[in-house]
Amino acid sequence: MKKIIIFDFAGTLVCMRPVKLLVPYLLLAILSKFFVLGIITGANRRNTMRILNKVGIANFFSDKAIITKDDVSYSKPDIRLINFFARRLSSKEIFLYVGDSDKDFKMAKRYGVNFLCYNSVNGT
């Protein structure tokens, strides 16, 4: 199985207002050839899927690789989110977590996975 890259949703992968893609489409296309791409978000599934379709990247993420507040009762930085994700995909091969907050960082650190902070405000 391919290794996994997990993205935070709002503020990292997409901007909510106005709705726009923050990670370049071409980068996601290339990454999806070599990695399983996933999302962990506090948003609900319906809204998450609507936005993924609107920005044209829903095809890069399988349904089981998207964890929303509809799937779990706990929130970041609770490590059970990543544990649930790993069980759902039957893999602990998580290579990278990309997020924009201290909660994202703490969760990745607790799980022992590499973390990339992507600040959508200034693109760093």
CATH of the domain at 11: 3.40.50.1000
- In-domain check, residue 86: yes
pLDDT at 77: 96
Distance between CA atoms of residues 39 and 34, nearest Å = 16
- In-domain check, residue 123: no
Q: What's the distance, CA 55 to chain centroid?
A: 15
> Mind listing the pLDDT tens digit for each residue in 59-68?
999 999 999 9
Q: What's the distance, CA 27 to chain centroid?
A: 14
- In-domain check, residue 122: no
| Exposure string for 55-70, b = 16+ CB within 10 A, e = fewer | bebbebbeeebbbbee
- In-domain check, residue 51: yes
Q: Where in the sequence is the domain holding 43, given as residue range(s)?
A: 3-100+110-117
> Mind listing the pLDDT tens digit for each residue in 101-116?
999 999 999 999 999 9
pLDDT band at 122 (very low <50, low <70, confident <90, very high): low
pLDDT at 1: 75
